[in-house]
């Protein structure tokens, strides 16, 4: 094991050094973080099942060690507002995720606009409190906030582009039932890209729509197509073109992904803001917020069976309360419209700066998602919405996870089931 680890580490050490030293300007501190990364990687190397994932896995560990370094530094230093890199919400790999487009738009604004938008939206401060912090009259704060909002709208790149040519999915999600089956869950090969439902292999396509609850109405639609092969920092994968349609506007982006015999993961993606193309890869700090899935961002394992990481009793789930976790939890008969499916339920629990979110994938025997459901912890993004989800969506289904309440938000179905 030691020889294998040293061989792989030696191959990737130049990339690892560039990755850490680019983020940490102090050479002495960077060397300390490099050493901590190598020690942590060696200690957990026995858990890596596929050597082809070593680079992703190693850089995931390094990313966490860099984050630890900056967290420690932040405890001792006062960081100015204009140096913060907060994230906000948009549709992404886990449904609603952080949006680099919004951050890029904020970067186009002046310091005063960025400051007041940060205090109001990111910190969730009322205008009276902002006036106190900035030693400004309340009327000035209201005026400045209004003008900052207008300038943000002017620079935000997404505008209506007319009628979409996407495949039509139902305007209202079909009625469905989910019934627990007493049979043992079957093992399944799940090759879909997490949260995007496309198999990242040549010639693959998929369309899927989102439906808000309790209205059950169509709220947006994706169309994805694999357009070719790519090589991202030495890792072979495919390019996936994505077209998202919402409220009359079409938003295009590109995803880079990899499918191996053991894992399916994101390698990065590309977006356009203000006419400028921006590419994020697994070497970038913001990758984890936008595309990071699974342990050290290595994605979902393709071979899935229940391993007892998440346990269910009645309508309550329990798991060891640390990190992200996913597991097969039960076998279910899903009747969707006029079709019946024998499925296993893949539960994926992810933490973020906004709280904890839970996604359910109901997978058929072919390993395809026939129904996807999103739940939020009751306090998810409370500073943004100023209410708990049980207050905002009082009629929606509840789950209990580690004795905490989760609330059903929206569902997705794909053209696979049509």
Q: What pLDDT is attached to residue 155?
A: 67
Domain closes at, from 42, 76, 110: 76
Distance, CA of 413 to CA of 207 (rounded, Å) = 9
65 and 91 fall within a common domain: no
Q: What pLDDT is attached to residue 84?
A: 37
More reliable by pLDDT, 165 or 282: 282
Confidence of residue 415 (pLDDT cuts 50, 70, 90): very high
Looking at residues 114-126, what average pLDDT do you find?
Answer: 79
Q: What pLDDT is attached to residue 113?
A: 84
409 and 331 fall within a common domain: yes
Q: What pairs with residue 177 in β-bridges? A: 335
Q: What pLDDT is attached to residue 274?
A: 75
Domain closes at, from 47, 76, 105: 76
Q: What pLDDT is attached to residue 122?
A: 67
Sign of dihedral through CA atoms 189, 60, 412, 274?
negative
Distance, CA of 250 to CA of 244 (rounded, Å) = 6
203 and 259 fall within a common domain: yes
How many CA atoms are closer than 13 Å to the CA of 141, on its beta-carbon side?
20
Looking at residues 386-409, what average pLDDT do you find?
Answer: 95
The residue among 109, 193, 95 whose CA lies nearest residue 409 is 95
pLDDT (tens digit per residue) in 227-255: 999 999 888 999 999 999 876 678 889 99
Structural domain contains residue 171: no
CATH number at residue 19: 1.10.1740.10
The boundaries of the domain holding residue 90 are 82-155
Domain closes at, from 107, 122, 155: 155
Q: Do the beta carbons of residue 63 and residue 288 sit within 8 Å?
A: yes
More reliable by pLDDT, 374 or 83: 374
Which residues have CB under 8 Å from 245's CB, separation 6+? 164, 166, 220, 221, 222, 223, 251
DSSP state of 82: G
Largest interatomic CA distance in the chain: 67
Structural domain contains residue 161: no
DSSP state of 23: H
Q: At what angle do helices 138-155 and 100-107 cross, to 10 degrees?
A: 110
CATH number at residue 264: 2.40.360
184 and 209 fall within a common domain: yes
Structural domain contains residue 198: yes
Distance, CA of 365 to CA of 414 (rounded, Å) = 16
Residue 329 phi/psi, 5° resolution?
Answer: -130, 90
120-129, 178-187, 266-275, 290-299: which is most confident: 178-187
Q: What pLDDT is attached to residue 173?
A: 96
Residue with the two structure tokens 């693959």: 204
The residue among 242, 270, 273, 240 whose CA lies nearest residue 159 is 273
CB burial readout 223-255, b (16+ within 10 A) else e: bbebeeebebeebebbbbbbbbbbeeebbebbb
> Could you tell me the pTM of the whole model?
0.68
Looking at residues 301-325, what average pLDDT do you find?
Answer: 89
Report how many domains make up the chain.
3
């Amino acid at each position: 094991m030691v020889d294998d680890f040293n061989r792989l580490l030696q191959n990737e050490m130049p990339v690892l050094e560039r990755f850490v030293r680019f983020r940490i300007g102090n050479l002495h501190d960077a060397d300390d973080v490099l050493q901590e990364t190598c020690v942590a990687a060696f200690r957990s190397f026995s858990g890596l099942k596929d050597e082809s994932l070593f680079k992703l896995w190693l850089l995931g560990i390094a990313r966490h060690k860099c984050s630890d370094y900056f967290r420690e530094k932040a405890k001792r230093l006062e960081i100015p507002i204009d140096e913060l890199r907060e994230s906000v919400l948009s549709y992404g790999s886990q449904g609603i995720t952080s949006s680099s487009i919004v951050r890029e738009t904020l970067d186009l604004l002046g310091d005063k606009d960025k400051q007041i938008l940060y205090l109001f939206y990111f910190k969730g401060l009322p205008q009276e409190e902002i006036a106190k912090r900035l030693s400004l009259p309340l009327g000035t704060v209201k005026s400045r906030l209004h003008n900052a909002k207008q300038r943000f709208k002017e620079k935000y790149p997404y505008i209506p582009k007319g009628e979409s040519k996407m495949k039509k999915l139902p305007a209202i999600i079909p009625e469905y039932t989910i019934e627990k089956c007493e049979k043992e869950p079957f093992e399944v090969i799940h090759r879909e890209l997490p949260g995007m439902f496309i198999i990242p292999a040549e010639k693959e396509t998929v369309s899927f729509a989102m439906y808000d609850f309790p209205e059950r109405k169509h709220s947006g639609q994706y169309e994805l197509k694999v357009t070719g092969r790519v090589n991202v920092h030495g890792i072979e994968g495919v390019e996936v073109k994505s077209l998202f349609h919402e409220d009359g506007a079409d938003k295009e982006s590109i995803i880079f992904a990899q499918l191996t015999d053991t894992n399916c993961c994101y390698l990065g993606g590309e977006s356009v803001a203000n006419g400028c193309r921006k590419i994020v890869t697994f070497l970038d700090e913001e990758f984890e917020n936008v595309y990071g899935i699974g342990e050290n961002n290595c994605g979902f394992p393709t071979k899935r069976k229940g391993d007892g990481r998440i346990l269910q009793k009645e309508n309550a789930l329990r798991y060891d309360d640390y990190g992200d976790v996913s597991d097969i939890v039960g076998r279910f008969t899903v009747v969707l419209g006029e079709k019946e499916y024998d499925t296993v339920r893949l539960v994926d629990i992810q933490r973020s700066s906004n709280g904890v979110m839970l996604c359910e994938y109901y997978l058929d025997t072919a390993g395809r998602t026939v129904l996807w459901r999103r739940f939020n912890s009751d306090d998810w993004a409370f500073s943004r919405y100023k209410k708990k989800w049980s207050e905002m969506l009082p009629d929606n289904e509840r789950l209990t996870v580690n004795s905490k309440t989760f609330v059903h938000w929206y569902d997705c179905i794909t053209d696979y089931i049509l």
